[in-house]
Amino acid sequence: MRIDIVTAFPDLVRGPLEYSILRRARMRGLVDIRVHDLRDYTTDRHRQIDDYPYGGGSGMVLKPEPIFRCIEAIQAEAARQGQTIDEVIYLTPDGQVFTQELATRLSLCQQLILLAGHYKGVDQRVRDALVTMELSIGDYVLSGGELPALVVVDAIVRLIPGVLGDASSALSDSFQDGLLDAPVYTRPAVYRGMAVPEVLLSGDHQRIAAWREAQRLEKTRQRRPDLLEKLELTTNDE
Ligand code: SAM
């Protein structure tokens, strides 16, 4: 899989790609992540990527020309290599809210382009002509799309087959099958008088699985009853 991140602040994005699972996935060739600096696609002396908004008002807007040039260059390269670009994604607070279901769907793609906005956002013509999907990571506003892009990349990459040492780990994570995850414990068995639930030390895999399932259901009922309602709706539809 290949992911291209288009940004005005490439250094903000590069750091997290160098750690943990994202680094391992890249090193093992399971994902190829390229970061593109919008300023490299300017043609003026000052490498200007933003300008004042038409109609007045505060805040700057990312200009269309460098974004068109950058994304079209990525598209041309993909066409030469016979690659399919599945989606051009703009990270934006007014987009569709990103979920585990979307992460799972996107993890099956061949190539994705992620566009991070900044300031007041990108010129609307970029959204109209180039973007095929708009994603928000939640109902709050950040200064730029770089952190949201990394959130989306991390959620997708850990689902690519072979990235996690144990694939079943991702399958039991919260949201993957509509429930929250069960509590987890490690050694020591008793810490500051707090004991690990006896069932987890029993070695009885059936009992452990049943305990975990019950914990997942109870936690979901308490914290996210909306998820249970959604599960019931989908079960009734089938
Ligand atoms: N004027 C925009 C609005 O109100 O919808 C907000 C612009 S925001 C200050 C600058 C950039 O940060 C956006 O273009 C977007 O790329 C990114 N951004 C901010 N919050 C986000 C969120 N919740 N999800 C995804 N991207 C976000």
Q: Please report whether residue 167 resides in a domain.
A: no
Looking at the fold, whether 38 and 83 belong to one and the same domain comes out as: yes
- Whichever domain contains 187, its CATH number is 1.10.1270.20
**Residue 140 beta carbon below 6 angstroms from any ligand 1 atom:** yes
**Residue 59 beta carbon below 6 angstroms from any ligand 1 atom:** no
Reduce the secondary structure of the chain to three states and give it as a string.
CEEEEEECCHHHHHHHHHCHHHHHHHHCCCCEEEEEEHHHHCCCCCCCCEECCCCCCCCCEECHHHHHHHHHHHHHHHHHCCCCCCEEEEEEEEEEECCHHHHHHHCCCCEEEEEECECCCECHHHHHHCCCEEEECCCCCCCECHHHHHHHHHHHHCCCCCCCCCHHHHHCCCCCCCCCCCCCCCCCCEECCEECCHHHHCCCHHHHHHHHHHHHHHHHHHHCHHHHHHHHHHHHHC
Looking at the fold, whether 12 and 78 belong to one and the same domain comes out as: yes
Tens digit of pLDDT at every position of the chain (238 positions): 999 999 999 999 999 999 999 999 999 999 999 999 999 999 999 999 999 999 999 999 999 999 999 999 999 999 999 999 999 999 999 999 999 999 999 999 999 999 999 999 999 999 999 999 999 999 999 999 999 999 999 999 999 999 998 877 888 899 989 999 999 999 999 999 999 999 999 999 999 999 999 999 999 999 999 999 999 888 777 7
What pLDDT does 165 receive? 83
What pLDDT does 170 receive? 82
What pLDDT does 192 receive? 98
Count structural domains, the chain.
Answer: 2
Spacing, Cα 144 to ligand 1 middle (Å): 6
What pLDDT does 145 receive? 98
Q: What residue's CA is closest to ligand 1, atom 27?
A: 92
The domain of 181 spans: 174-237
Looking at the fold, whether 15 and 124 belong to one and the same domain comes out as: yes
The model's pTM: 0.96
